[in-house]
Amino acid sequence: MNVSFSTSSLSVSNSRTRLISFRETEHGDQKSSEEWKTSTKLEALGSMEGELAHLLSTCKPETLNHNKTELSGFRNLFARFLRAKPTVDWSKIEPLPEGAIRPYKSLGTSMGCKGPKSVISVRNDLTFLDLTMQQIQTLNKTYGVDVPLVLMNSFNTNEDTQKVLKKYANVKVSVHTFSQSQYPRINRETLLPIVKSLEADDNECWYPPGHGNFYEAFHNSGLLDKFLADGKEYCFLSNIDNMGATVDLSILNFVLNPSPDQTAPEFLMEVTDKTRADVKGGTLIQYEGRLMLLEIAQVPKDYVDEFKSISKFRIFNTNNLWAKLDAMRKIVVENKLEMEVIVNPKHLDRGLDVIQLETAAGAAIKSFSGAVGVNVPRSRFLPVKKTSDLLLLMSNLYDIDNGSLTLSHQRSFPTTPLVKLGSSFDKVKDYLGRFNGIPDLLELDHLTVSGDVWFGKDVSLKGTVIIIANHGDRIDIPPGSILENKIVSGNLRILEH
């Protein structure tokens, strides 16, 4: 089987080429050093292409086209990794041009539509997916439309998702699924794939390359062409664990019906104001004439504190994204999708150190024409990444209506408490076991819990509450307790009798 890869971005004569090495002479200078770096990168790409061609030769004929598409995408990602600079040139960051970030209030009315990990129970035994289905079903019924739900899975979760979806057979929402690409993990030392055959049953050799893979995987699945044929114009992309990410009609109206002096943006990123909990979040900058998503990993270490400054970089990316489908297709087909490569190191159980090359969906902003940011209310960013986030959403801080969560009107100020739960609460099972009932948090400002701490039913937490059980101690918060501006430490045990 003879398979080759296109090398449009870096010239290598063929997939098995090894470039001739050279030695730096006694007059070697910076130019020779740069030539050596370039030569090394070319050799690494040539070696990788040779390995990928070998891998394709090991697959069954019926899977050749699929595997060739997957590995071609991986090859392009690897090439970007080789030529990428690890950090931005801080001196090239420019002030954001006028109109780059639009205030949400300037978009107009919401047309009367208020409010707005998929199987974890959030409220009333409803999972993230339950709530998302409720949101879209309500939208479709209210406006007589057919907005479909599309779920992107990894190869690790696809089978489980298909089983879960069976329970929604009677829900009036069209649901489609597709899988992210499956890319080979790279040996950190050799920069070559650790997998040796595509027929080997070894999931540890593979990884899903981050949500930035959405654009290519969506196109490769055939769904992008299907929705274009159906007359769809935009997609709204969000994390399923962001309970504030609903289809917002003000934003939809803004992208579909621009004012006469404006063109419709091909891409829109929802941003929101930074708080002390968000200082590491990616922000929008103007860089080399384009809007760009700047992540903390791209910041030179001498400027990290400046990046975290709320006064200079006041907003961060919520990962709620809107993209024009025909523009997306054009960018993917013409291979013009430029996204910064995230290098994710891993240590495998078998003792190998590997790297995964990933991308973030928001980084695509610089590839689209007329891209803008919209500064949305914090209520559109309610992510559940940790059990401390889950505690907030499970509490009485939020009201739930047709799948949409809104901050309770009984809370007297519109900000959410800062909650820090210790390592005893890290896993969802352990977290749930430590709460005999979710506390009343309506008047809470700050909660820190550390150590072996357990909560009884009907507990109320107000103001600033700090509960610290030292090593070997255990604290049981009695049922019905009201803790307001209290520090609890030492050993407090409630025993059954």
* Residue 362 assigned to a binding site: no
Q: Which of 465, 463, 469 is nearest to 451 (CA)?
A: 469
Give SS3 for 249.
helix
What are the structure tokens assigned to 276, written together? 């002390």
Task: Tell me which amino acid residue 350 is.
Answer: R
* Residue 282 assigned to a binding site: no
Q: In the annotation, is 31 catalytic?
A: no
* Residue 41 assigned to a binding site: no
- Single out the catalytic residue among 92, 105, 280, 385: 385
The residues near 440 (Cβ < 8 Å, ≥ 6 apart) are 395, 396, 458, 459, 460, 461
The residues near 261 (Cβ < 8 Å, ≥ 6 apart) are none
Q: How far apart are the first and last CA of the chain?
A: 75
Residue 474 CA, distance from chain mean position? 37
Task: Tell me which amino acid residue 349 is.
Answer: D
* Residue 180 assigned to a binding site: yes
> What is the rounded CA–CA span in Å between residue 462 and residue 347?
42
* Residue 330 assigned to a binding site: no
Q: Can you list the alpha helix ranges (DSSP code H) found in 6-165? A: 30-57, 64-83, 128-143, 158-165
Residue 325: other Cβ atoms inside 10 A: 19
The residues near 52 (Cβ < 8 Å, ≥ 6 apart) are 5, 15, 71, 74, 75, 193
Task: Tell me which amino acid residue 346 is.
Answer: K
* Residue 241 assigned to a binding site: yes
User: Which residues are known catalytic residues?
Assistant: 385
- Binding residue positions: 117, 180, 210-211, 241, 385
- Binding residue positions for substrate: 211
- Binding residue positions for UTP: 117, 180, 210, 241, 385
